[in-house]
Structure 1
Amino acid sequence: MTVTYDYAGKVVLVTGGTRGIGAGIATAFRDAGADVIVCGRRPADVPGFVQADVRDPDDVDRLVGGLERLDVVVNNAGGSPYAPVAGTSPRLHARVIELNLIAPLLVAQRAHPLLAAARGSIIMIGSSSGARPSPGTSAYGAAKAGLHHLAACLAAEWAPDVRVNTVVVGLAEAPGHYGGATVESTIPFGRLASPADVASVCLWLASPGYVTGAQVAVHGGGEVPAWRYLTGQESLAP
């Protein structure tokens, strides 16, 4: 069965939408007929691109302020380098939290009047790192946990005018990042999440409906616990 969506006449903003999961989300909405705006800190030759740093309130004002209509915001911009807490710069951890938690709050706050007028939707791109320990990226995991909670709070605060949901992404395809059979064997589904996997959930959550304050896990069944290997049991991956 193929599910199709019609977003003709709708305006969609995808932060960090120039590559990876963000680009996949932007492409899916564009293919469904939406007028898609994407932003990033570095210039990019992609349709609908606006250069903006979503950690900067002035940039966020400029990004959203010029719009007459906005139906969907996908707060996708995020990420973190490997940064153990001991021995790394406090400023680095602060910047990670700014990008992954404060920036989505700023974008949501600035976009709220337009979204309310359109009875629109916000989708936060969360992470399994915010739902389980993430050693080496503690600030990132803490920020994503905060993002999940922020979405739940905004869903309650802004209902029924604006729906707010979270897509909790597990191990996913990323340029220059993890991959390969060893990593994929830790996922019950047997492969990493693709941008298309995440995009299909975003298309559903952004469509009119009753769902708000929800967290949808896109992680292929989660991650196989280490004790299965330590006790000599086989991987759950097919």
Structure 2
Amino acid sequence: MTVTYDYAGKSVLVTGGTRGIGAGIAAAFQAAGADVTICARTAPERAVSERAVSERAVSERAGSERGRPGWRFVQADVRDPEQVDRLIGGFDRLDVVVNNAGGSPHAPVDGTSPRLHARVIELNLTAPLLVSQRAYPLLAASGGAVVMIGSASGARPSPGTSAYGAAKAGLHHLARCLAAEWAPLVRVNTVVVGLAATQEASDHYGGRTDLDDQAIPAGRMATPADVAAVCLWLAAPGYVTGAEVRVDGGGEVPAWRHLV
């Protein structure tokens, strides 16, 4: 069975959409016919100048106007309210916001900078709040949707990335609050992602490549395409709001299973 979605004529914003899960989400919406805007602090191709990126965005947008889905890149740090205003101010219409920008270095609480933890919380919790808040009038006008990209780290202990886990737990709760506050005009849901196979996976998991069968009941890590498929469903018109959909392959096998 094949499930397809038609996002033709829809405008979609994916924060942190230049790599990893965000890039996979952006590609899926574009393949479904949407006009996709991605944003990040750096351009998708570091060697490409800002002018070249702008020229390519214009070219892609022109292709969209001729009936093909297009994409554009906007450089923005979504932790900065002024940059968020500039980002959202560039839209005449907005149907879907995917708050994907996030992440954290390995940062144990003891001995690390308070500013580092504050920045991690700003990126993973405050930034999605700012983007959603600024986008709300456009989303309300279109009957749109917000999809938060959460993490299993926000649903269980996250040693070594405590600020990140706490921020993601806050993000999950923020989504439920916004879903109740903005219903029925705007739906807000969360995709709770478990272990994921991205460019950063080997670093994040200590260089281990043998975790799939040992740690995940489904036998493999999630891919960007797995996450994108859920985003396409949650962003489509429907009844579901305030939900958390786990994309974690059945959870994580507890360590004691390997000790008995």
TM-score range, shorter chain: over 0.9
Q: Is the 8 A contact 1:81 1:137 kept in 2?
A: yes
2:60 match: none
Matched, 1:143 2:167: yes
Q: Is the 8 A contact 2:8 2:33 kept in 1?
A: yes
Aligned counterpart for 1:180 among listed residues 209, 214, 219: 209
Give per-residue Cα distances to partners, 1:122-174, cap 9 Å, x unaligned: 00000000000000000000000000000000000000000000000000012
Give the 3-state SS of the residue equivalent to 2:215 in structure 1: coil
Higher helix share: 2
Letter in 2 for 1:164: V
How far, CA to CA, are the matches of 2:117 and 2:172 in structure 1? 19
Aligned residues: 231
Aligned pairs (5 A) from 1:34-73? 34-45=34-45, 47-73=71-97
Shift in Å at residue 43 of structure 1? 1.7
Q: Would the alpha carbon gap of residues 49 and 184 (structure 1) be closer, same or farther in structure 2, given more than 3 Å must change?
A: farther
Q: Is the 8 A contact 1:151 1:164 kept in 2?
A: yes
Superposition CA RMSD, Å: 1.0
2:249 match: 220
How far, CA to CA, are the matches of 1:43 and 1:144 in structure 2? 25
Q: Would the alpha carbon gap of residues 184 and 100 (structure 1) be closer, same or farther in structure 2, given more than 3 Å must change?
A: farther
How far, CA to CA, are the matches of 2:10 and 2:212 in structure 1? 38
Provide TM-score, normalisation by structure 1. Answer: 0.95
Identity %: 77
Q: Is the 8 A contact 2:18 2:43 kept in 1?
A: no
Unmatched segments (≥5 aa) in structure 1: 232-238
How far, CA to CA, are the matches of 2:259 and 2:184 in structure 1? 48
Q: Is the 8 A contact 1:184 1:192 kept in 2?
A: no
Matched, 1:196 2:225: yes
Give per-residue Cα distances to partners, 1:76-100, cap 9 Å, x unaligned: 0000000000000000000000000
2:58 match: none
Shift in Å at residue 44 of structure 1? 2.0
1:235 match: none
Provide TM-score, normalisation by structure 2. Answer: 0.87
Give the 3-state SS of the residue equivalent to 1:48 in structure 2: strand
Deviating 4+ runs (over 3 angstroms) = none
How far, CA to CA, are the matches of 2:211 and 2:10 in structure 1? 41
Q: Is the 8 A contact 1:101 1:143 kept in 2?
A: yes
